[in-house]
Structure 1
Amino acid sequence: MASERDLLSTEIVNRGIESSGPNAGSPTFSVRVRRRLPDFLQSVNLKYVKLGYHYLINHAIYLATIPVLVLVFSAEVGSLSREELWRKLWEDARYDLATVLGFFGVFVFTLSVYFMSRPRSIYLVDFACYQPQEDLKVSKEQFIELARKSGKFDDASLEFQKRILQSSGIGDETYIPKSLIMSTENCATMKEGRAEASAVMFGALDELFEKTRVRPKDIGVLVVNCSIFNPTPSLSAMIINHYKMRGNILSYNLGGMGCSAGIIAVDLARDMLQSSPNNCAVVVSTEMAGYNWYQGRDRSMLIPNCFFRMGCSAVLLSNRRRDYHRAKYRLEHIVRTHKGADDRSFRSIYQEEDEQRFKGLRVSKDLMEIGGDALKTNITTLGPLVLPFSEQLLFFATLVWRHLFGGNAGPGLQPSSSPSKKPYIPDYKLAFEHFCVHAQQHMVRVGIFRS
């Protein structure tokens, strides 16, 4: 494990010209100490590599046996000349109707078992993202001005939110609910939450159904995920009621799972489609920015105010063969890593009330370190499933060498934990064309890109 000092980074912040006091007119600076992402290149947990190869073996066992059987059969046939092969097939062999039918039955049964046990292909037919109205668009400056006009924040809280926005990846074309713009009252109500949910979910689904030309009654599986806002009836029930979907639809509503719920929802929809042939599934992912609005002064709970915005995505998945030609993607692998058993991870994002009894999300200062560790674990598990064989061979060889010889590069050489002897990290760009990372903070993006 890295020492506490290794996980800290410093940043010099220019605070401008001093306006008063003995140092008036002089430029002032401050040094900010923050936690940074852990160095992914220093350690690889062997158990997650084993888990990745376990997934690989489970999925490849059938394909691995076929080449062996073909090789054995080819070797046997190749040892015979054409005359010997012809004599064994027609002259020496004695066939009857029972033998032919038995062989044909075994052949048909084997093919049937193979095709029935093979996982169904899951296609992403299309997707849609909700586009809010232009009057809901706010820039960073407008957001701070709206927060100031609400009268709910003091100058220190406003300045803190301004600094967070300036160092984040949030642009000047984001959208917030009308309740935050038009009202100075409490907007974290069930009424406002339902209004925002209806706007974003129905907007995204209307566009999805129009693009795919799929009727709502054709949907067999519906999965909705929203971490904070979980009313009764559920969000999935709101969608079913609005579009008058069929009565035997498999409906699921996921809550309290944070940003990872999108992947969990896709995983759940995939499992449902595997057991339901010739079917379609819709996955809706959203979050209610207005219902999650924090009105207090706790800095660790003000961060979600700066990062959460209005939006929703809807994805149409299908296992129907006729959707193969129009699908945008085919789902290959989903690897999930759960860190909930660790107390620090469990409390890294925690919903609670502050001292003034205002409800909000508390973001731990260890979030970047925890997220980086989870990301490293997930990528390590995913590697054996997606990397080319050459990269896997190099990685596995160096990993076994370090494991057997205590991290030494060889007899008489320096340990591989030194900067010049880091473990071999595979080139994931050979397997992926795009990396999608939820990273609002600039430091998170820089840390991930460097890793």
Structure 2
Amino acid sequence: MVLVVLILCLLPLLSMIMMMKRKHDSSCYMLNYECYQPSQSLKLDTEASCRVVLRNKNLGWEQYKFLLKTIVSSGLGEETYSPANVVAAKEADPSLPDSLQELDHIFFQTLDNLFAKSRVSPQHIDILVVNVSLLSPSPSLSSRIINRYNMRPDIKAFNLAGMGCSASLIAVDLVRQLFKTYKNKLAIVVSTESLGPNWYAGVDKSMMLSNCLFRSGGCSMLLTNRSEFRDAAIFKLKHLVRTHFGSNDEAYNCCIQVEDNEGYAGFRLTKKLTKAAAQVFVINLKVLLPKILPLSEIIRFVFIYLIRWAKGNKIKLTEALITGDLNLRSGVDHFCIHPGGRAVIDGVGKSLGLSEYELEPARMALHRFGNTSAGGLWYVLGYMEAKKRLKKGDRVMMISFGAGFKCNNCLWEVLRDLDDTNVWEDCIHRYPPISLANPFAEKYGWINDEYVSFIRIEDCDFSTTA
């Protein structure tokens, strides 16, 4: 009887130990990440942008005015990068070899640097997830990486297509779920986009936007659930919530790959995008915030909500965040916002009541590198690290949006003070600049609310124009 009683007393303790072990085993740590740094020959400054614009002979005066306004107000600077086929004036007739070469440069530069920095052999990788939305060849892109690095035959490889700008966190979530089943593993996530074969050559304004915003970029990440690597890790994934708003027709169609009336393929971005982003963002926050905010803050908000409700005043989530009735900073120290465009950054900042200091990393990533689609979040994170903002114990909230329409957000915990060299090393001393204004209008036109006119278009060097 004594033995039976002892066993019954120990069962809850043993159960708790097993649960803690299971939770520990399914932890997701990031060991390193590496962003893509294109060559200087691919830089899209004002002169190069002018040449690209004028190569499209389908454009009329109204389209030129629209492009000028968009480029000037986009939030992009002079140092973003374009695919090689665009620089070589081959965007109207892209080839498969050109498309694969564009991705190979991104894949192999980031992975070579990642393996060298982490001192991990490609043969030790157990899981590989590659996300490129707009190109899905056969063999798959993940197979190209496996072939290049001679990875093991038992590697678990996944190739994600069509997931849009928020695909990076979808890939991370896939790894996190796999870690619950596969113990003591190393995983690689490669996030980028194929822009070369998807350059739009038509005149539909809603499809011309993508040429003004999207730029070359990408990132590779090394993740693990091996406990012995914890001391070497830089982040621990605390929470991740994915929200899909595809059942809403308006949201589904606001960010979509289509052909225009003339048969030109491209990516359509409609005015409904900001509305869809706001709606799905609120849905996501309702699930994520209870997970990341301390219990005391949740209790305080419930108390405020009940008082307002008793007085007949309802309080919305976004209003509570703006007014401070719900203190988001009690659970978050830094905000890593997808640099999809100035409107996206402004919208998220307004919804969460963020300061310009908190929005600075996203604005600077957009200005320096443009909208690099699924890789964009990591350029924002790299900016925070280069500015030495990330300290041990800090919590970083990543916010991403993508076609579908999707909103994927997560929370990382910083495991050590971060100041490693990264893609910002050569220019971080110049950021933030005094002005984020794009010099395109100053050099090639004049713009105000009523009138737009190219006045020095003859200054362009057209020697490489097709």
SS of match in other structure, 2:240: coil
**TM-score, normalised relative to structure 1:** 0.71
Q: How does 1:308-319 map to 2 (within 5 A)?
A: 308-319=214-225
| 2:18 is the alignment partner of 1:118 | no
2:91 and 2:196 in contact (8 A); partners too? no
Residue 160 and residue 213 in structure 1: after superposition, are their counterparts in 2 closer, same or farther (change >3 A)?
same
| Residue number in structure 2 paired with 1:293 | 199
* 1:122-147 alpha-carbon deviations (Å, 9 max, x no partner): 11100001111111112244213222
SS of match in other structure, 2:198: coil
For 1:408, the aligned partner's letter is: G
Residue 252 and residue 373 in structure 1: after superposition, are their counterparts in 2 closer, same or farther (change >3 A)?
same
> Any gaps of 5 or more consecutive residues in structure 1?
1-94, 410-414
Residue 420 and residue 318 in structure 1: after superposition, are their counterparts in 2 closer, same or farther (change >3 A)?
closer
1:132 and 1:175 in contact (8 A); partners too? yes
User: How many residue pairs were aligned?
Assistant: 348
SS of match in other structure, 1:276: coil
| Residue number in structure 2 paired with 1:370 | 276
| 2:173 is the alignment partner of 1:248 | no
Q: How does 1:4-403 map to 2 (within 5 A)?
A: 98=3, 102=7, 106=11, 109-110=14-15, 113-119=18-24, 120-149=26-55, 151=57, 153-184=59-90, 186-400=92-306
* 1:51-97 alpha-carbon deviations (Å, 9 max, x no partner): xxxxxxxxxxxxxxxxxxxxxxxxxxxxxxxxxxxxxxxxxxxx97x
| Residue number in structure 1 paired with 2:447 | none
- Alignment partners' CA distance in 2, 1:296 and 1:147: 11
| Residue number in structure 2 paired with 1:450 | 350
For 1:118, the aligned partner's letter is: K
Deviation at 1:161, TM superposition (A): 2.1
Deviation at 1:313, TM superposition (A): 0.3
1:280 and 1:317 in contact (8 A); partners too? yes
- Alignment partners' CA distance in 1, 2:282 and 2:47: 36
SS of match in other structure, 2:38: coil
1:285 and 1:313 in contact (8 A); partners too? yes
Residue 188 and residue 425 in structure 1: after superposition, are their counterparts in 2 closer, same or farther (change >3 A)?
farther
Deviation at 1:439, TM superposition (A): 4.0
For 1:426, the aligned partner's letter is: L
- Alignment partners' CA distance in 1, 2:10 and 2:336: 49
Larger radius of gyration: 1
**TM-score, normalised relative to structure 2:** 0.69
Residue 398 and residue 192 in structure 1: after superposition, are their counterparts in 2 closer, same or farther (change >3 A)?
same
Residue 111 and residue 438 in structure 1: after superposition, are their counterparts in 2 closer, same or farther (change >3 A)?
closer
| Residue number in structure 2 paired with 1:54 | none
1:269 and 1:281 in contact (8 A); partners too? yes
- Where does structure 1 differ by over 6 angstroms across 4 or more consecutive aligned residues? 419-424
Task: Please tell me the root mean square deviation across aligned C-alpha atoms, in Å.
Answer: 2.7
> Any gaps of 5 or more consecutive residues in structure 2?
352-466
Deviation at 1:375, TM superposition (A): 1.4
- Alignment partners' CA distance in 2, 1:347 and 1:307: 19
SS of match in other structure, 1:444: helix
1:226 and 1:256 in contact (8 A); partners too? yes
| 2:434 is the alignment partner of 1:434 | no
SS of match in other structure, 2:336: coil
